[in-house]
Amino acid sequence: MAEDNCVRILVVEDDMYLADSIVRILQNRQFTVKLVNTALDAEREIVSGTEYDIWLLDIILPDGNGFDLCKKIRERSSALILFLTSCDDEESITKGLDMGGDDYITKPFRVAELMSRINANLRRFHKYIRLHRRFLISGDIRADLENVQVWKKGELLKLTPVEFQLLEIFMNNPEVIVRRNVLLEKLWDGHGNFVEDNTLTVTVSRLKSKLGVYGEENRQYIETIRGYGYRWNMRCVVSEDEKC
């Protein structure tokens, strides 16, 4: 990932008026930006090997869709992927996150919202560049905070950056209720104003699914406290020993 003033962004958007506006906004904030208008051109960028830090993907394109592009990007890159979508329903959010997306922005959006979400995702990524290796261990789950990796029973799990940060928040606050508004503030824009409430619900659900916890085991790890938030019900230890 490049430093903030060298961040490379690929915008995939077929609405030329909106696309030009997005490019101008990003360039005015010193991002390096390239624009493509079709799924075919985006696929060419994927296979070209050109490295981008962020992909802004329109979902509905004249010759394809952003979901399929996201899947292809994830086969080659761990870059941040943000969807630009007119759909805010839970099914669409679930599909986007399941494909490996990090976030989504609902159209129409304001300039402040776009920049807030981009910067929040960049901060989340840079947060995990650690000077010292540290592990969180809870039950069968072990998280490597330096390398942003998590295992369950020795099996490496594939989490998105936001799922990993959510897990870290839970494991750093064991056996206490973490309120939904706190999670929204920590995971996204710093104050939660631009985040659909369904996004958090879906993200927690996806994390539960990837951890493979169901039924009683689910409640032992992540318990939903209706009307308040969530609670990690397992003790957690911090270690600098990889084998702990």
Locate the domains of the chain by residue range: 4-127, 135-239
Q: Give the pLDDT band of residue 34 (cuts 50, 70, 90).
A: very high
pLDDT band at 191 (very low <50, low <70, confident <90, very high): very low
- Predicted confidence at residue 123, as pLDDT, reads 76
Show the tokens assigned to 156: 């490496």
Q: Which CATH class is domain 135-239?
A: mainly alpha
> Residue 190's pLDDT is what?
53
The b-or-e profile of 159-195 (16+ CB within 10 A means b, else e) is: bbbbbbbbbbbbbeeeeeebebeebbbbbbbeebebb
Element (H, E) at 184: helix 180-187
Looking at every residue in the chain, the average pLDDT score rounds to: 83
Percent residues over pLDDT 90 in the chain: 34
Q: What is the pLDDT of residues 83-128, one digit of tens each?
A: 988 877 778 888 888 888 989 888 888 888 899 889 888 877 665 4
Domain 4-127 class in CATH:
alpha beta
Intrachain domains 4-127 and 135-239 with the same fold: no
For residue 132, pLDDT over 50 is answered with no
Sign of CA dihedral 40, 41, 45, 47: positive
